[in-house]
Amino acid sequence: MPIDAVVNIVISGLFTGLVYGLMALGLSVIYGVVRIVNFAHGELMAVGMYAAVFAFVMAGIDPLWMLVPLAVAFFGIGYGLQRALVNPFIGRPEHSQFILLLAVALVLVNLLLVFFGPDARGVLVSYSLDSYQIGPLLIDKVRLICAAVALITCAILFAIFRYLSFGKAIRACADNLLGAQVVGLNVKHLYALTFGLGTACVGIAGCLMSLLVDVTPGLGPAYTLLAFVIVIIGGLGSMVGALAGGVLIGVSESVAGLLFTPSAKGMVSFALMILVLVFRPQGLFKAR
Amino acid sequence: MPSVTRRDFNRLAAGSAIAGSAALAAPAVVRAQASKLRVGVLLPRSGALAFIGQSCQRGADIAPAMLREMYGVEIELMNADMESSVDVARSRAEKLIDDGAQLLVGAFDSGPTAAIAQVAEQRKVPFVVNIAAAPQITEQGYKYTFRNFPSAGDLIGNGLSLTSDIFQATSAAPRTAVFMHVNDTFGSSMAKGIAAILPKLTHLPFKLVDTISYDREARDLSVEIAKAKATQADFILLVSRLNDAILLVRELVKQRWSPQAIISPGSPGMYEAQFYKALGNRYSDYCISNVPWYNPNAALAQSVEATFHKQFPQEKLMFHALNVGFTFEAIMIAADAFKRAGTTDGDPLAEAIRQTNITEHMMVGGPITFDAKGQNTQIASACIQNRDGEPVVVLPQDAAQKAPVYPVPAWNERKA
């Protein structure tokens, strides 16, 4: 196979992996602070995808213009979900938390089925099929834009946790919950903010994904599983790990499709996860 | 000598009277049951094949009223969604039979269809396959399964023959093709069939330079298209479903590869309404599907079209022709057999289906009959090319609406 074709495939996998990483970042952030595993993560992303598709179909709004409104809306959804539903389950046995969020996931999937039906829906903007040519390389325009937005979003999230006071407060809760309570931090509010931030990441990821793939109600569980694989590989609770895991999965799936039969590329992510669990069960990066 | 008391005699007389009146009533009960046939319709109305399943469902929905007029029999549909899943198909088939279905129709997808055929055989309930090509469905020696759709071998034979006709009609001689196929039961059957049949067709000018399979549920086919592009094949031979066909074309455009054509030797996808809607005329045009098709000049096809348009005024039959046509015909076969058998019992009904000989039907080909394996071997294919956002018959010549175009215009040469 020509080398430029290989490079094209690797770049394509890298860009897709960055969007996966953004999706998984939300999961990692929530677990890192609240210590709740959001089993409705992929379903929330599917909701984000449908929201973007709906805005496009009804009003012709490009999903890139929906990034900020969806981020705000999903922040609110995440905040409300945590305060109203999840908060009472903190401290309860893990299986109760699992059942709760699984139930939320099932409700979301079936609501999407009721409102939108089972048909695949997508967004075809004027530049959906464009690509840039740089020498022998062909760069998919939409993937490039999505990867750039994913990186910017991650950078904003990092900046929030590093430089803003409430970001530092959230980190304090994650590092030392008792200490945070002792110094008077409103832990419930901070937990809800964290859930909101994680859900906002998912909303943005969903908006970007709507430009890359067609959405069906059944897509949510597949992305929940993918998010889990990524954070387990990257390290549960590690933001850098989530991004790195996403990129690793994106690139490895593309390369595996090249080296083996493309129909088997889906198994590569699970094979990688098994390797990580066996040799480095805490993940590639430590939780921070 | 045992004595019979008056009480014994009265009890015996009462029992005989009840048995006698039941025997007199039974024929009436049987006659009442024989006027209605409960048909369980299993289709993938959600999941990966949702759009196509719903398209087939339209063919089922228009059938009862039309068949009442045509045959004077009552058909009651019992619809079930098998969710594009083998396990769900099996359990839904069992449930339909438990709920009283006397005959099953379905299921578009080969894997679930094979599972339903097993259930039908075990429960001795006739099963008429509307659309499913995997050869094994009618190779198991089943007595209750009948297929009014070509098997993969026939599809491929017809499809490759029409492919040769395209090259002859356009004086083209492509030398290489890359074969891409979905890796579900249907796609794998077609791949095996092509591997077996193609080498024997020495008159075809091309050879396959690579075979690339992909997951039916794949959300990204960029690697597959990159591999196909690297072969520099003249055209793509494609066995696909609907969503993956859309993804493939999008990826072809993004990667700026314009093969001479995309030709399907007998798979769904490129003639479905959603394909045109998702890609627009610019990118959906010129794709070629060699598939069984309806005969728009047949009287029954025109009746079906009128009824279809009345019930679904927003839709055009041409975008659902294959799905609606075969599903309608499957229920028509059931109605025809029911009228001749006069019973809903499995064995006589299955025997009546076996004796089917319907000359007035809507799909292209000879009369609907079944061989010893329950297979209708008289179904022909037509070469359908997308033109101006519509599926158009371009071969055989005597049925052609337009002349075939090969090689097709490159993506950047087409009007926006």
What's the pLDDT score for residue B47? 87
What's the pLDDT score for residue B116? 97
Distance CA A104, CA A167 (A): 27
Q: At what angle do helices B86-98 and B110-123 cross, to 10 degrees?
A: 30
Distance CA B337, CA B185 (A): 30
Which chain B residues are Cβ-neighbours of A129 within 8 angstroms? 250, 253-254, 283
Please tell me whether the interface predicted TM-score (ipTM) of this complex is above 0.90. Answer: no
Total number of domains constituting chain A: 1
**CB-closest option in A131, A214, A258 to B256:** A131
Distance CA A148, CA A35 (A): 29
pLDDT digits (tens, 9 = 90+) for A216-251: 898 899 899 999 999 999 988 788 899 999 999 999
Task: Write out residues in chain A with pLDDT < 70, as ranges.
Answer: 263, 287-288
The reply to whether A14 touches chain B by the CB within 8 Å rule is: no
Q: At what angle do helices B321-341 and B299-311 cross, to 10 degrees?
A: 110
Mutate one of A9, A129, A131, A132 to test the B interface: name it (highest B CB count within 10 A).
A129
Whether A49 maps to a domain, the answer reads yes
Is the separation of the CB atoms in A172 and A193 below 8 Å? no
CA distance A203 to chain B (A): 19
Q: Percent of chain B scored above 70 by pLDDT? A: 92
Residues 219-248 of A with CB under 8 A from B: 219, 222
- A-to-B residue pairs, Cβ atoms closer than 8 angstroms: 91
Whether A283 maps to a domain, the answer reads no
Q: At what angle do helices A3-34 and A165-175 cross, to 10 degrees?
A: 80
3-state secondary structure of A287: coil
The reply to whether A144 touches chain B by the CB within 8 Å rule is: no
- Which residues lie below 8 Å from residue B398, measured CB to CB, with a gap of 6+? none
Whether A271 maps to a domain, the answer reads no
Is the separation of the CB atoms in A202 and A245 below 8 Å? no
- Mean pLDDT, chain B cut into blocks of 10 residues (416 residues total): 55 50 44 77 93 95 96 96 94 97 96 97 98 95 97 94 96 96 93 94 93 90 92 97 94 95 96 92 96 92 96 94 97 97 96 97 95 96 96 91 96 89
Contact: A5, B253; criterion CB under 8 Å? no
Distance CA B364, CA B362 (A): 7
Is the separation of the CB atoms in B180 and B236 below 8 Å? yes
At the top level of CATH, the class of B153-291+382-413 is: alpha beta
Whether A251 maps to a domain, the answer reads no
Contact: B250, A140; criterion CB under 8 Å? no
B74-81 and B235-239 strand pairing: unpaired
Report DSSP letters for B136-163, one per residue. Answer: GGGSS--SSEEE-S--HHHHHHHHHHHH
Whether A179 maps to a domain, the answer reads yes
Mutate one of B211, B223, B243, B253 to test the A interface: name it (highest A CB count within 10 A).
B223
Nearest chain B alpha carbon to A116: B46
Q: What is the largest CA-CA distance in chain B?
A: 107
Chain B positions contacting chain A at CB under 8 Å are: 45-47, 50-51, 54, 183, 212-215, 217-224, 226-227, 229-230, 243, 246-247, 250, 253-256, 274, 278, 280, 283
pLDDT digits (tens, 9 = 90+) for B128-175: 999 999 999 999 999 999 999 999 999 999 999 999 999 999 999 999
Question: Which residue spans of chain B are classified as CATH 3.40.50.2300?
Answer: 33-150+296-354, 153-291+382-413
The reply to whether A133 touches chain B by the CB within 8 Å rule is: yes
Whether A11 maps to a domain, the answer reads yes
The DSSP element (H or E) to which A226 belongs, if any, is helix A219-234
Which of B69, B71, B63 lies closest to B39, judged by CA?
B63
Whether A231 maps to a domain, the answer reads no
Range of the domain at A207: 3-219
What's the pLDDT score for residue B35? 80
Contact: A119, B50; criterion CB under 8 Å? yes
Q: At what angle do helices A219-234 and A266-279 cross, to 10 degrees?
A: 30
Is the separation of the CB atoms in B103 and B145 below 8 Å? no
Distance CA B271, CA A214 (A): 19
Whether A118 maps to a domain, the answer reads yes
Contact: A129, B226; criterion CB under 8 Å? no
- Which residues lie below 8 Å from residue B144, measured CB to CB, with a gap of 6+? B117, B120, B121, B124, B125, B126, B127, B346, B350
What's the pLDDT score for residue B37? 97
> What's phi and psi for B127, nearest 5 deg?
-135, 120
- Specify the fold of B33-150+296-354: Rossmann fold (3.40.50)
